[in-house]
Chain A
Amino acid sequence: MSKCHNLSNQCLIDKAQNEKIDLVWDRYEKMLPLCGFGEKGICCRICMKGPCRIDPFGNGPQEGICGANADTIVARNLVRMMAAGAASHASHGKEIAKTLLNVGRQTAKNYSIKDPEKLKAIAKNINIDIEGKDIHQIAREVAYESLMDYSRFEEDTCTWLTNTITKSRLEKLEGLGVALNNIESSVADIMSRTHLGTDADPINLLLAGMKTSLGDYTGMQISTHLSDVLFGTPEPVISTANLGVIKKDAVNIAVHGHNPLLSEIIVDVVDELNHEAIAAGATAGINIVGVCCTGNEVLLRRGIPMASNYLSQELTILTGALEAMVVDVQCIMPSLSKIASCYHTKMFTTMPEAKIPGATHLELHDEHALENARDIVRQSIEAFKRRDESKILIPEEKSNIIAGFSTESIVNLLSKIDSEKPLRPIIDNIVNGNIRGVVLFAGCNNVKVTQDYNFVHMAKKLLENNILILATGCGAGAFAKNSLMNSEATKEYAGESLKAVLTLLGKEAGLDVPLPPILHMGSCVDNSRGVDLAVALANELGVDLNQLPLVASAPEVMSEKAIAIGTWVTGLGVPVHIGLMPPVEGSPLVANVLTEGLKDVVDGYFIVEGDPLTAADKLTQVIEEKRAALNIPSAVKEEK
């Protein structure tokens, strides 16, 4: 199995081997065999009578010491993963909401309201009266209302859940008792009910998992939209992606993690210190590059080039030309600091809850943010002087990309065609079959799959079938790096009718070129943008989300966050493909609920398929069934 689908990265993998530096792939190989009890979810470490393991073959123990069987153990473990995912996305959103509150109080001197119109639109959407109120007061009220979603003790459904999904969906979720009132208490509820000797009913556990996953969704909505208020709503932007964005003659600083609160500050101070970098001999000045979702955030809003998605993050340091790796939270491999120590690269952690041994800790979210950001940039310039020229190897390849497709920017683009009903052109083309359906790609990379391979191969096949693709997170990173997010990709990979639509839309919208066939909607918290678009389409069509010819896919899924996302997507009624089996095989009951039973309850369900081409066929099939149910048969291409 090769390690990266993108061959330009291979030279750095070889370089690591020559330099005897272990990368994620080497550590994986050393870890084999992976413990099958963990893989199947039937290892329980919840109390100290254990750990207990259930023998899935029936020869050994069938119950833990307390009597919990495989179903209980698998369900408990799984919903704990969901709670962890929800906690991480939700605290990201909470940081942003608190910052907005402080901006409203005019006590956050490093931040401001960059998109007041969006703030007002949000206020309207969540039923806050803005008549006669100044922008700071609106900010305070919106932040307060959002923070209520973290602290409400009344039983009312979260504001950001109620106001962002279709009415019928909300009723369905409320009917099931999973429309939560408080994100953080849903996480606490999971931790408490999974404590030894509490909830043993796998179905009851899974329902609670759905509830906390909807907390993940709610936190994402808050993250995305309040970030737009603070940092600007993304507009289409042209940039580049892949390791080739690292420049030999620049001070290269990578921003990595998830929270734009920190990366934005770094980007802000670069201009004022650029001359110092040039004076230090870096003729191209300072070059900020993105990794993972922090990378997506600054790509969409500032056009910052994207160096790497999750699995190849270590390779950025292997180029020998990275002066600093600045990280915040989530998806940061602890290995980075050790690899950085083999080079001149400085590693900086910036959040109180995410320190890494070997890294320098300088916080970027408090009152010292600006001076600490300057300190980081200056230390990077110092590091530049210590570069070892003989260790530099920067792969040349970089792809052109068009990113920045927020729901607002898509609507803006389309309103140039039909200002009354901007979504009409998309709907018409879906109805007439020029666009057969939409797949939202999200999620991580996983070392068990050749990096980006599943994403790229699924996408090519879907595009050929005239299916439009939206992408977020490291999925978007995969497409960006592999030249699938530009106009050439539309010409090369989109089926005839999809190509015609994208070309027309591109022209009518005033761009000279076709729209890319895969629209980059942002980081993984920006899956909310995909939902917003889907909800707008569903409302326009007068249907619910489950009826749309829409599916989601995380073909290289890895993290707990991805499990939470996948779960709420099914809760919203949308089928989700995952390319790897989550740790549930030890309980056929739980596995069946996820892939079958869920369908009867929330319409959405999981499709597990490891082979990307088969998966693309399955998703096409689902889309066809949805079209048939809506009575809009495909006018274009027969199934092969």
Chain B
Amino acid sequence: MKVSIESKVKFLATNPDLCLGCRSCELACGAGKAAKYTPEERNSKRPIVPSIIVTQAQGLNKKIPAYCRHCENSFCLQLCPAKAITREHGAVKINDDKCTGCGICEQGCPYGVITMTSYKVNERTKTLANKCDLCLDRQINDRTPLCYTACPTKAITLHS
């Protein structure tokens, strides 16, 4: 059973030549994340950060979507002292309840696609790492990742 799920989880690829920098992917990803926040997280204004980030170098008319590669030998997974990062169905995933916010994964990621955010819960600052989880919850229900779905030019594609 597990095997069949794993085989259907797809990874992202992008073609920067087709990217127009509309940030629809960012918007969809961020909205998807926010929809999963608990009422407490919402009350304490947990920041919403998309896991796909569209960048444009100044003076260079090229837009590049940056996203997690779910590397085979993931530095983030290996470096995390709290063992908060695991691989599930092929995706490298951060488990919020274990993350201590130390930021080591952010520093270790060669693609710069892990973002640290902080917010206050009961007067205490809580810091968490955020990254792409391939929209696992959608994929295992036969739905495509949000960023892929939102991209109007098909600059984002899926592959196994």
Verify if B39 is at the interface (C-beta below 8 Å from A). no
Verify if A59 is at the interface (C-beta below 8 Å from B). yes
How far apart are the CA atoms of A65 and B56 in the complex, in Å? 30
Asked if B153 and A57 sit within 8 Å, CB to CB, the answer is yes
Residues of B within 8 A of A53 (CB): 22, 152
User: Closest chain B residue to A43 by CB distance?
Assistant: B22
How far apart are the CA atoms of A53 and B37 in the complex, in Å? 30
Verify if A334 is at the interface (C-beta below 8 Å from B). no
Residues of A within 8 A of B63 (CB): 33, 36
Verify if B154 is at the interface (C-beta below 8 Å from A). yes
Name B21's contact: one of A34, A55, A59 (CB within 8 Å): A34
Asked if B22 and A35 sit within 8 Å, CB to CB, the answer is yes
Verify if B20 is at the interface (C-beta below 8 Å from A). yes
Asked if A32 and B58 sit within 8 Å, CB to CB, the answer is yes
Residues of A within 8 A of B22 (CB): 35-37, 53
Known: A53-B22, A57-B18. A33 touches B153 (CB 8 A): no
User: Closest chain B residue to A450 by CB distance?
Assistant: B59
Verify if A175 is at the interface (C-beta below 8 Å from B). no
Asked if A37 and B20 sit within 8 Å, CB to CB, the answer is yes
How far apart are the CA atoms of A53 and B54 in the complex, in Å? 18
Residues of A within 8 A of B54 (CB): 33
Verify if A60 is at the interface (C-beta below 8 Å from B). yes
Residues of B within 8 A of A32 (CB): 21, 55-56, 58
Q: Mark B1-41, 1 if CB is under 8 A from A, else 0.
A: 00000000000000000111111000000000000000000
9 A–B pairs (Cβ distance < 8 Å), ordered by A: A1-B59, A32-B58, A33-B55, A36-B63, A55-B152, A57-B18, A57-B154, A60-B152, A60-B154
How far apart are the CA atoms of A32 and B20 in the complex, in Å? 11
How far apart are the CA atoms of A421 and B22 in the complex, in Å? 59
Total count of chain B residues near the partner, CB < 8 A: 15
Known: A59-B153, A59-B154, A60-B152. A33 touches B58 (CB 8 A): no
Q: How far is the CB of A165 from chain B (nearest CB, A)?
A: 38
Asked if B59 and A36 sit within 8 Å, CB to CB, the answer is no
Verify if A98 is at the interface (C-beta below 8 Å from B). no
Known: A36-B22, A37-B20, A37-B22. A55 touches B58 (CB 8 A): no
How far apart are the CA atoms of A36 and B151 in the complex, in Å? 12
Verify if A338 is at the interface (C-beta below 8 Å from B). no
Interface residues on A, range: 10 to 19
Asked if B152 and A1 sit within 8 Å, CB to CB, the answer is no
User: Closest chain A residue to B59 by CB distance?
Assistant: A1
* Of listed B23, B56, B153, residue having the most chain A CB within 10 A: B153
- Other contacts beyond A1-B58, A36-B19, A39-B20: 19, CB < 8 A: A1-B59, A29-B58, A32-B58, A33-B21, A33-B23, A33-B55, A33-B56, A35-B23, A36-B20, A36-B22, A37-B22, A40-B20, A55-B154, A56-B20, A56-B153, A57-B154, A59-B154, A60-B154, A61-B152
How far apart are the CA atoms of A249 and B154 in the complex, in Å? 61
Residues of B within 8 A of A57 (CB): 18, 153-154
How far apart are the CA atoms of A35 and B19 in the complex, in Å? 10
Q: How far is the CB of A465 from chain B (nearest CB, A)?
A: 28
Q: Mark A35-78, 1 if CB is under 8 A from B, else 0.
A: 11101100000000000010111011100000000000000000
Residues of A within 8 A of B56 (CB): 32-34
How far apart are the CA atoms of A32 and B53 in the complex, in Å? 11
Residues of A within 8 A of B152 (CB): 37, 53, 55, 60-61
User: Closest chain A residue to B18 by CB distance?
Assistant: A57
User: Closest chain A residue to B56 by CB distance?
Assistant: A33
Q: Mark A14-29, 1 if CB is under 8 A from B, else 0.
A: 0000000000000001
* Of listed A39, A40, A53, A57, residue having the most chain B CB within 10 A: A57
User: Closest chain B residue to A53 by CB distance?
Assistant: B152
Q: How far is the CB of B54 from chain A (nearest CB, A)?
A: 5
How far apart are the CA atoms of A46 and B56 in the complex, in Å? 28
Asked if A60 and B55 sit within 8 Å, CB to CB, the answer is no
Residues of B within 8 A of A39 (CB): 20
User: Closest chain A residue to B154 by CB distance?
Assistant: A59
Q: How far is the CB of B92 from chain A (nearest CB, A)?
A: 26
How far apart are the CA atoms of A55 and B18 in the complex, in Å? 9
User: Closest chain B residue to A60 by CB distance?
Assistant: B152
How far apart are the CA atoms of A60 and B18 in the complex, in Å? 11
